[in-house]
Amino acid sequence: MSKTFRIAVLPGDGIGPEVTAEGIRVLKAAESRLEGVKFALEEYSVGAGEYLKSGDALPPATMDKVRACDAILLGAMGLPDVRLSGGTEIAPQIDIREILELYNGLRPVRLYHPDDTPLKGYATGEIDFAIIRESTEGLFFSRKQSYAKDASEVRDTMRISRHGAERVIRAAFRVAQGRRKHLTLVDKANVLPSMAFFRQVFYEIAPEFPDVRVDHCYVDAAALFLVRRPRDFDVLVTENMFGDILSDLAASLVGGMGMAPSADIGDRHAVFQPAHGSAPDIAGKAIANPVAMILSVAMMLDWLGLPAPARAIERAVEEVFADPGNRTADMGGRLSTGAMGDKILEAM
């Protein structure tokens, strides 16, 4: 039996294309070792560059083609100088999450080498948790509203719907079931009614998953605890903006944005992309760290039902990182983007 997976590849802007190239090399290496599995790659132009060319960062015809694929691999999108009339950046990656209802923003955080955390006394794998960020509503809900230049006030609305909360909370429980069976709800239920509602829904759903231990903490405390005792966490679930902020903080515990893969998963579609942005300050210099993208490829393989090559990629990253000489500039090393890709391919 043979199976061909159609993969939409959206390299995007800034360092997006540079890290995507390394992710593709790793995906092809995985393919060459898999019997009966092929990846048909379809590359599309989406992002700030496409906006400058055609006036639409995510043309509808492209979206139709992307939707028809089995999975989506995305580099990074947006450039600081390319802005919408309201002043915000072009962000088709957020549009795609909303259009395809990719509510489960899964961000695994794992320490690959003790040298790479600013914390003392953590061995490889001792920081190992996953943040699940609701990705279709929350405080991003009103992001497309416009306001008059002379407005005396602008409000953003935090939307928590029962449907939106239930589906992401159930997804988080299922992720916890596949890990150490501990789920922490992160909210601000002491101040915001929308967050009190989120907590209410969480505890209504918890009895459906009796094998998962649950607890909760406020988002401000979560920021403190993630730094002081990250070992205590397995899976955290939270709303969109809190998850956005906490996942950057969490990335800093394991080497920075270059080490943070992510997936945005819905019921039918999923996008896999590094958690970092387009990093225009280092674009074109061949120094971007491709590991977040390479680990996102591993997440995609898992989601496609191919766990063996996913584990092979993670093992290769761990083997490469065992040598402290193997680092890109963001982590104090000298490897170029391509040289880091080479090391991981050799280890595979």
- CA atoms of 78 and 17, how far apart (whole Å): 12
Mask for 111-150, x = binds ligand ATP (CB under 6 A): ----------------------------------------
Question: Residue 310 has which token pair?
Answer: 């996913």
- CA atoms of 45 and 158, how far apart (whole Å): 31
DSSP letters for 105-164: EEEEEE-S-GGG-SSSS--TTSSEEEEEEE-SSBTTTTTT----TT-S------B--HHH
Question: Residue 137 has which token pair?
Answer: 């509503």
By CB under 6 A, what part of segment 148-177 binds ligand ATP?
none
Closest-CA residue to 186 (of 215, 230, 217):
217
CB of 13 to ligand ATP, least distance (A): 9
CB of 77 to ligand ATP, least distance (A): 7
CB of 187 to ligand ATP, least distance (A): 23
The torsion angles phi and psi of 205, rounded to 5 degrees, stand at -85, -30
Residue from 330, 335, 341, 344 touching ligand ATP (CB under 6 A): that is 330
Q: For ligand ATP, which is the closer residue by CB, 214 or 275?
A: 275
Q: For ligand ATP, which is the closer residue by CB, 18 or 314?
A: 18
Residue 198 is which amino acid?
Answer: F
Site size toward ligand ATP (CB under 6 A) is 15
CB of 210 to ligand ATP, least distance (A): 37
Q: For ligand ATP, which is the closer residue by CB, 136 or 194?
A: 136
- Contacts (Cβ under 8 Å, ≥6 apart) of 104: 132, 134, 135, 167, 168, 171, 172, 175, 263, 264, 265, 266
Angle between helices 307-321 and 16-32 (to 10 degrees): 120
By CB under 6 A, what part of segment 223-252 binds ligand ATP?
none
The torsion angles phi and psi of 41, rounded to 5 degrees, stand at -90, 130
Closest-CA residue to 347 (of 17, 126, 30, 16):
30
By CB under 6 A, what part of segment 10-29 binds ligand ATP?
15, 19
CB of 277 to ligand ATP, least distance (A): 2
CB of 328 to ligand ATP, least distance (A): 6
Residue nearest to ligand ATP (CB): 277
By CB under 6 A, what part of segment 251-310 binds ligand ATP?
257-258, 276-279, 281-282, 288-289, 292
Quick check: 335 binds ligand ATP (CB under 6 A)? no
| Strands laid side by side in the 104-110 sheet | 37-43, 3-12, 71-76, 270-274, 261-265, 104-110, 128-134, 235-238, 182-187, 213-218
Question: Residue 220 has which token pair?
Answer: 């401000």
Q: For ligand ATP, which is the closer residue by CB, 295 or 312?
A: 295
Chain mean position to CA 147: 30
CB of 305 to ligand ATP, least distance (A): 28
Q: For ligand ATP, which is the closer residue by CB, 30 or 292?
A: 292
CB of 140 to ligand ATP, least distance (A): 12
C-beta of residue 220 within 8 angstroms of C-beta of residue 189: no
Q: For ligand ATP, which is the closer residue by CB, 282 or 297?
A: 282
Q: Tokens 């990656």 identify what position?
A: 93
CB of 37 to ligand ATP, least distance (A): 28
Binding site for ligand ATP (CB under 6 A): 15, 19, 78, 257-258, 276-279, 281-282, 288-289, 292, 330
